[in-house]
Structure 1
Amino acid sequence: MKPLGPVPAGFAAVDGELALGGVKISEWLAEAGDTPIFLYSGDMIAKRIEALRTALPDRIELNYAVKANPWPPLLEFIEPLVDGFDIASAGEWLLLDEAGIAARRTSFAGPGKRDEELRTAIEAGVTLNCESAGEADRALAIGERLGRAPRLAIRVNPDFELRGSGMKMSGGAKVFGVDADKAAGLARRVVDAGVDWQGFHIFAGSQSLDADAISEAQRNTIDLARRLANEAGITLPKLNLGGGFGIPYFAGDEPLDLYAVGEKLHEIAAADVLPGTRLVLELGRYLVGQAGVYLTRVVDRKESQGETFLIIDGGLHHQLAASGNFGAVVKRNYPIAVAHRVDAEPEEVVNICGCLCTPLDRLATQAHLPRAEVGDPIAIFCAGAYGATASPMHFLGHGPAREMLV
């Protein structure tokens, strides 16, 4: 047997059935029409943002990282709850623009921005987090042709990393950002060129559950930004501290101690570190990840060599991360439930496999669950981030899953 991850708070049982927002999953499925489907809880997202506002000092601004989940109704829901948005492509900017979200609330990071993307951002007034001296030069040239001063920040590759992070974004040779020893010189140059200077973006890592490690990285980030600004002899209007706040996916994971992180940031705020600088946290997964559930149905049960397989109508084409094929080194089980028997005692050990013609399409291995028959709904949790758009939805022609905000 392989253990399952913890079911997020916010889901409950009503008459033995999984419920979201006090409504049984069977009712949500009846409204949606069919499986597979992603359900996103607006209430859980709002409560998570409220918890952040309560724990963090007022000085800290919250940005939503669109890459976590760019579904337009979700963006529209989040828009009044956050201070800004971080994008990773011109395509994501188009989604924000169509939702009526202002360019001045938006910053654009990511290596390999094409000239057309730079032009689109400069014309709109989106802040460009430049990842290299070459990118900054191209932005300056495009701005000169357009007769507009680009809104520029510099993404810095710091000489430290976020300890224990699931995905390290800094420290050593990295595709992201300008190395710390070169960042001050570049900052001085772009400021002298007359850009609309927006400061630094320093993102050390992601998916950490260690409050001490996150606080250490935040302190190191602030110290580095202050040093770079002093070296360059420039003001620092804004510092994007990155994110790194993780959510528990697997057995043994403990939730991040948000209030411990907040306490350290309150100390920084009280010390008036970097006075006049806007401090921004860039969060995606932490805002929406646990607020989503992926619902699918059993289409077949089969026995093979003494093992039981439940074949479902979904799969890795919608939930690549849950299959362990999205950066995982060791494949572990996400939180999963037989949705209409959520509080029943486990009685069988099963493998849950998707409908794709590949052995990679396995969403749970040796999971101990209540018995499920053909037609029964299966819930896969922590599906609000890096699900629908981070998965190969068109692989083998099965197409995308439905999405629904409840």
Structure 2
Amino acid sequence: MNAKPTGPIPADYAGQPMLQVAGRSAGDWAAAGTPLYLYDASAVQARIARFRAAMPERIALHYAIKANPLPSLIAAIAPQVDGIDVASAGEMDKALAPMDAAAVSFAGPGKRDAELDAAIRAGVTLNLESEGEAERALAIGERLGTTPRLAVRVNPDFELRGSGMKMGGRASPFGIDAARVPALVRRLIAAGAAWRGFHIYAGSQALSAEAVIETQAATIGLAARLADEAGALPPLVNLGGGFGIPYFPGDLPLDVEAVGAALAGELDRLDTQYAIELGRWLVGEAGIYLARVIDRKESQGETFVVVDGGLHHHLAATGNFGTVVRRNYPVAVAHRMQDAPEEVVTVVGPLCTPLDRLADRVALPRTQVGDLIAIFASGAYGASASPQGFLGHPPVREVLAGV
């Protein structure tokens, strides 16, 4: 049987004969129980340092905690970034534990009045998604006697070319169509709100530096035009993110240094502060999902390796979260990282559904019951983006290593 290719193992771990994180083996980390998400704090810190070195000094860094809202991870990241972006009241509560409210922004359509109330009371910036939401926020601020901090999320008339998830250039539940933004900005200022600027997000999971550079230039141009039409300078322009990571065969890392060099030549088009919000790019390759082999079986010439974790913990690796064609994440036998492949197997979980397939017909060293299977690039949209209550299996453990 021909093996299907897998994505590239991140450079932090690719050369290891036996998987180690923060000086301890995967087997040591897994001794307290599997399945397990293991996050490498030093890998996250290195990503943040790389971003700082690559980007102009005027660019602030925000962490979008929807990528991974583990409280210990947020606490470790918060002192190293300039802000945190959230998308629910629950995320807001997590962000406010280690971060000052003035550095927290709240996006997402359908914010309930109770969420608007809580954000305004706390002093969090609301990224408004509609004129109706703006009017509700203004009314709540007036009732509370508190000046709300309000930014306008713009639905741009362009998209991030080649992005895995497009967020602009079409009708959208996210943000306000660009043509209507200047009037809303004038309304907010006239009402006495603390207008905090623009949030413009055109797409995510892009690996092409050329596409990111093109989109960032268009974003700054749009912000400058909207500011001119509104007659007001935005205090901050959040350029969104969109930085992708390699998951699948043939994926190449984003050249963030090229992105930063190009961005430096664009910033003077608008005399304001800028931010980039990143989630996946900061934490995605720093996470590893470990599951233990509990059975092997043969069926009509195909070998299945059954592990104790699966779709209920790692929906994305099974191809059921944001992908059209199922492709294999990077995968390895944790204690035999450099051994030659000896067999072609399909790695499946314990759930009673054919969708519970973590790796499809991959070439691995021969696996035995008790071995650990490692799925890399698992630090973003893992545990919190998966249906952990499905079929009543135990929840996954999450551990932050190196703190």
What corresponds to 1:132 in structure 2? 130
What corresponds to 1:364 in structure 2? 359
Query: SS where residue 228 of structure 1 aligns?
Result: helix
- Following the alignment from structure 1 to structure 2, what is the Cα–Cα distance between the partners of residues 251 and 352? 17
The counterpart of 1:350, out of the listed 340, 345, 350, is 345
Whichever residue aligns with residue 75 of structure 1, its letter is: I
1:4-403 alignment to 2 at 5 Å? 4-11=6-13, 16-30=17-31, 33-97=32-96, 99-269=97-267, 272-275=268-271, 277-403=272-398
- Following the alignment from structure 2 to structure 1, what is the Cα–Cα distance between the partners of residues 19 and 194? 51
- Following the alignment from structure 2 to structure 1, what is the Cα–Cα distance between the partners of residues 15 and 213? 36
Whichever residue aligns with residue 7 of structure 1, its letter is: I
Q: Deviations over 1:325-353 (max 9, x none)?
A: 00210000000001111110001111110
- Following the alignment from structure 2 to structure 1, what is the Cα–Cα distance between the partners of residues 22 and 252? 24
User: Which 10-residue stretch deviates more, 78-87 or 100-109?
Assistant: 100-109
How far off its partner does 1:12 sit? 5.0
How far off its partner does 1:29 sit? 2.0
How far off its partner does 1:265 sit? 1.2
Whichever residue aligns with residue 13 of structure 2, its letter is: F
Contact 2:287–2:379 (Cα < 8 Å) also in 1: yes
- Following the alignment from structure 1 to structure 2, what is the Cα–Cα distance between the partners of residues 51 and 95? 26
What is the total number of aligned residue pairs between the two structures?
399
How far off its partner does 1:13 sit? 5.5
Q: Deviations over 1:17-43 (max 9, x none)?
A: 11223432122223xx01100110000
How far off its partner does 1:178 sit? 0.2
- Following the alignment from structure 1 to structure 2, what is the Cα–Cα distance between the partners of residues 216 and 46? 28
Q: Deviations over 1:36-57 (max 9, x none)?
A: 0011000000000000000001
Contact 2:8–2:248 (Cα < 8 Å) also in 1: yes
Q: Deviations over 1:50-82 (max 9, x none)?
A: 000000011000000010000000000001110
* TM-score, length of structure 2 as denominator length: 0.98
Whichever residue aligns with residue 209 of structure 2, its letter is: A
Superposition CA RMSD, Å: 0.9
Whichever residue aligns with residue 144 of structure 2, its letter is: L
Contact 1:13–1:19 (Cα < 8 Å) also in 2: no
- Following the alignment from structure 1 to structure 2, what is the Cα–Cα distance between the partners of residues 355 and 227? 54
Contact 1:353–1:363 (Cα < 8 Å) also in 2: yes
Gaps of 5+ in 1: none
- Following the alignment from structure 2 to structure 1, what is the Cα–Cα distance between the partners of residues 101 and 82? 12
- Following the alignment from structure 1 to structure 2, what is the Cα–Cα distance between the partners of residues 175 and 238? 23
- Following the alignment from structure 1 to structure 2, what is the Cα–Cα distance between the partners of residues 341 and 13? 11
For the pair 1:405 / 2:400, whether they are aligned, the reply is: yes
Whichever residue aligns with residue 84 of structure 1, its letter is: G
* TM-score, length of structure 1 as denominator length: 0.97
Contact 1:12–1:20 (Cα < 8 Å) also in 2: no
- Following the alignment from structure 1 to structure 2, what is the Cα–Cα distance between the partners of residues 94 and 55? 31
